[in-house]
């Protein structure tokens, strides 16, 4: 049996969409959506307004701490994701490298600030990351458009979405996970510095 080309693309995209929706359902089932729906975290607002919060017993989630720090003007944030089996700590912050209670005014905006965040094994933290969630939503819509308007080729729209998302997140991703340094450009890796650091003794 020969499947027509239009039908073939639709089948493949419906299969992709179905898998994607099942996965999303699994994520919502595990992490919930409360972090978006709850207006404000009172503990964070009242006790740690413009300060590093005191993190214990998985009391803050990834989304609100990320939001809290970005509101404070910090851009060099790192979230180290690790696996946990503790259901109460899924999507929750576990530690920070800065002393709790430290005022934002006492920290340089260029500082490297690290947080630990827990996730369930096999289930990423997409639901806490606004940019990525928007990216997936646009992709989701494009897949639906492609299924319905199969005569048009939406591939360029997909690529354009990837381009925009990559540009927006480029600086955030262009950083080492364990320091404030950037991957590109990096003067440590110039030919002259490479010679000096790695070959001078050996050559």
What is the smallest separation between the CB atom of 48 and another protein, expressed in angstroms?
A: 25
Q: Which of 8, 38, 45, 106 binds another protein (CB under 8 A)?
A: 8
- Dihedral (C-alpha) 188, 191, 197, 202: value to the nearest 10 degrees? 160
CB of 72 to another protein, least distance (A): 22
Pairing of strands 93-96, 77-84: unpaired
Q: Does 119 bind another protein (CB under 8 A)?
A: yes
Nearest-10 crossing angle of helices 130-148, 155-173: 170
Q: Minimum Å distance from CB 74 to another protein?
A: 18
User: Which residue, 33 or 130, has its beta carbon nearer to another protein?
Assistant: 130
- The reply on whether position 39 binds another protein by CB under 8 A is no
In whole angstroms, what separates CA 77 from the centre of its chain? Answer: 11
Residues 114, 96: contact at Cβ < 8 Å?
Answer: yes
Q: Which is nearer to another protein, 141 or 195 (CB)?
A: 195
> Least distance in Å: CB of 158 to another protein?
5
Contacts with another protein: how many residues (CB under 8 A)? 56
Dist CA 65 CA 52 (whole Å): 9
Residues 40-79 that bind another protein (CB under 8 A): none
Q: What angle do CA 32, 122, 85 make, to 5 degrees?
A: 70
SS3 state of residue 169 = helix
Q: How many residues does the chain have?
A: 203
Q: How many CB atoms lie within 10 A of CB 117?
A: 25
145 lines the binding site for another protein (CB under 8 A)? no
179 near another protein, rule: CB under 8 A: no
**Which positions lie near another protein, rule CB under 8 A?**
5, 8-9, 12-13, 16, 80-85, 119, 121-122, 124-126, 129, 131-132, 135, 139, 153, 155-156, 158-160, 162-163, 165-167, 169-170, 173-174, 177, 183-195, 198-199, 202-203
């Amino acid at each position: 049996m020969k499947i027509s080309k239009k039908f073939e693309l639709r089948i493949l995209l419906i299969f992709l969409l179905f898998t994607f929706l099942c996965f999303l359902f699994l994520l919502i089932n595990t992490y919930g959506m409360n972090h978006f729906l709850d207006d404000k975290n009172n503990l964070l607002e009242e006790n740690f307004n413009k300060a590093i919060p005191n993190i214990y017993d998985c009391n803050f989630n990834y989304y609100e701490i990320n939001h809290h720090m970005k509101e404070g003007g910090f851009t060099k944030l790192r979230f180290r994701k690790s696996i946990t089996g503790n259901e109460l700590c899924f999507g929750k912050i576990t530690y920070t490298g800065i002393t709790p209670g430290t005022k934002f005014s006492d920290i340089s905006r260029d500082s490297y600030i690290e947080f630990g965040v827990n996730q369930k094994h096999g289930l990423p933290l997409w639901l806490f990351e606004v940019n990525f969630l928007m990216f997936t939503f646009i992709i989701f819509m494009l897949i639906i458009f492609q299924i319905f308007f199969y005569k048009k080729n939406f591939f360029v729209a997909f690529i354009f979405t990837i381009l925009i998302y990559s540009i927006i997140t480029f600086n955030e991703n262009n950083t080492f996970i364990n320091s404030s340094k950037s991957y590109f450009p990096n003067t440590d890796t110039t030919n002259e510095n490479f010679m000096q650091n790695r070959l001078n003794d050996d050559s």
